[in-house]
């Protein structure tokens, strides 16, 4: 190593952590006294000297080692060329393989995806068309059943309800089906109006049902019930079915249809029917309080209204709906609810007539036993127990109605 080599601090200059700023600061501190003016000539001269020495050293080394450097460079160049050629060949092979794969896989995959989309669209279209076709068949079936219903075949109402339920499920499967004009037409022109019409018709039949308007014998007027001591909804159902099959078919079909299409409306309709008969019966009995000559006729009509309620309960029981309806109405029996409602409405009217006094009150008190016996017979007759006593079935209802006339005195 020469003196110049010893003079230049190569370890510092070649250090990975070399910092020009730190090196300059150190050099300036070494060549200047802290209490003297700053002089940059000496450190600058030293740096320029070091650069010149380094340049000279590099020139000398490259000159003396030129042959070795050229040989090394040539060897490196040949190796690089060989490597490049090999990489180029491999790249060409990869490009060729990629092109083949693209033609055999990617292009075919794209075509396959397009075919798959077409098949999926065809499948969806076929499914929608099949559902629309099924909807058309159901709609025609509904129209035939409605025609049968209009012709007086009440059993067609239940069949029509099942068809409407199936059609409703079909039309409610998704938006894709409703995008078809024919499906929307089936919904707007067949399903919705027919369903609404049947529900409205069923509600009207149930809420207005009364044996007073039926051309058929009632249980109280037939020999099969005139001597019975107890009666259940099933017994009344059986009796009315035997005396009037058409009435049984009409009301049974109506009850089943409304339970299929709108169970809440069935409960509401039964409640409305019950309240209608309660109100009418209370009005009849109230009018009879001022004229006992009309009492027997009023009691007969009230008992017939009770039988109407019992008939509906019997039909409900006959088609397996009584338990659910009674649970929804929170009642043990419809007839029990009827007589409790009549008693609740009639009791204050009786008390009002007695409190007002006058001839009506005197006549009413004088005939109180007649009133009570008439009420007792009316309840039993309305329960389908005309020949029975007050034990078991009917005892509670009789007690409630007789108790409503308690204002007449004992």
Q: Could you tell me the mean pLDDT of each successive run of 10 residues in the chain, 410 residues long?
A: 62 85 85 82 85 86 83 90 91 89 82 89 89 93 95 94 95 83 92 96 95 61 37 62 77 95 95 96 90 88 93 91 92 93 92 83 83 91 68 78 79
Distance in angstroms (rounded) separating the CA atoms of residues 167 and 137 = 9
Q: Which is it for the CA torsion 284, 286, 287, 293, positive or negative?
A: positive
Residue 241 pLDDT: 58
Distance in angstroms (rounded) separating the CA atoms of residues 376 and 307 = 15
Residue 133 pLDDT: 92
Sequence-separated (6 or more) residues with CB below 8 Å from residue 386 = 220, 225, 226, 227, 228, 377, 380
Residue 23 pLDDT: 84
Which uninterrupted H or E stretch holds 203? helix 192-207
Q: Which is it for the CA torsion 134, 137, 143, 144, positive or negative?
A: negative
Residue 227 pLDDT: 34
Structural contact between residues 398 and 376, judged by C-beta atoms closer than 8 angstroms: yes
Looking from the CA of 380 toward its CB, the CA atoms found within 13 Å total: 22
Q: Radius of gyration (Cα) for the chain, nearest Å?
A: 53
Sequence-separated (6 or more) residues with CB below 8 Å from residue 371 = 292, 295, 364, 405, 408
CA proximity to 141, closest of 178, 203, 191: 191
The values of phi and psi at residue 34, to 5°, are: -60, -30
């Amino acid at each position: 190593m020469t003196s110049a080599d010893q003079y230049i601090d190569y370890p510092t200059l070649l250090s990975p952590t070399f910092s020009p700023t730190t090196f300059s600061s150190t050099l300036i501190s070494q060549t200047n006294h802290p209490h003297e003016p700053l002089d940059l000539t000496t450190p600058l001269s030293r740096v320029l000297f070091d650069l010149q020495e380094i340049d000279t050293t590099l020139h000398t080394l490259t000159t003396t080692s030129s042959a070795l450097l050229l040989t090394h460079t040539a060897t490196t160049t040949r190796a690089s060329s060989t490597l490049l050629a090999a990489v180029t060949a491999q790249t060409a092979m990869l490009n060729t393989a990629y092109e083949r794969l693209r033609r055999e896989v990617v292009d075919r995959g794209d075509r396959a995806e397009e075919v798959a989309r077409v098949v999926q669209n065809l499948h969806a279209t076929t499914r929608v068309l099949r559902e629309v076709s099924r909807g058309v068949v159901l709609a025609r079936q509904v129209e035939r059943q409605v025609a049968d219903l209009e012709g007086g075949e009440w059993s067609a109402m239940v069949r029509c309800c099942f068809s409407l339920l199936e059609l409703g499920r079909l039309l409610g499967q998704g938006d894709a089906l409703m995008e078809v004009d024919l499906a929307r037409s089936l919904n707007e022109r067949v399903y919705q109006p027919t369903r609404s019409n049947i529900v409205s018709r069923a509600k009207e039949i149930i809420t207005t049902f009364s044996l007073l308007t039926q051309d058929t014998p009632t249980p109280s007027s037939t020999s099969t019930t005139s001597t019975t001591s107890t009666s259940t909804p099933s017994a009344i159902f059986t009796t009315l079915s035997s005396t009037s099959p058409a009435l049984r078919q009409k009301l049974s079909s109506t009850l089943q249809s409304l339970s299929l299409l709108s169970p809440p409306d069935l409960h509401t309709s039964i409640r409305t029917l019950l309240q209608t008969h309660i109100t009418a019966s209370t009005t009849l009995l109230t009018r009879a309080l001022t004229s006992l000559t009309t009492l027997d006729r009023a009691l007969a009509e009230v008992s017939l209204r009770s039988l109407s309620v019992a008939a509906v309960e019997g039909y409900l029981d006959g088609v397996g709906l009584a338990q659910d309806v009674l649970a929804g109405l929170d009642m043990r029996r419809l007839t029990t609810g009827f007589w409790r409602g009549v008693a609740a409405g009639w009791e204050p009217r009786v008390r009002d007539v007695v409190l007002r006094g006058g001839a009506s009150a005197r006549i009413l008190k004088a005939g109180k036993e007649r009133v009570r016996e008439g009420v007792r017979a009316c309840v039993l007759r309305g329960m389908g127990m005309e020949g029975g006593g007050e034990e078991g079935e009917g005892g509670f209802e009789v007690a409630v109605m007789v108790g409503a006339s308690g204002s007449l005195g004992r």
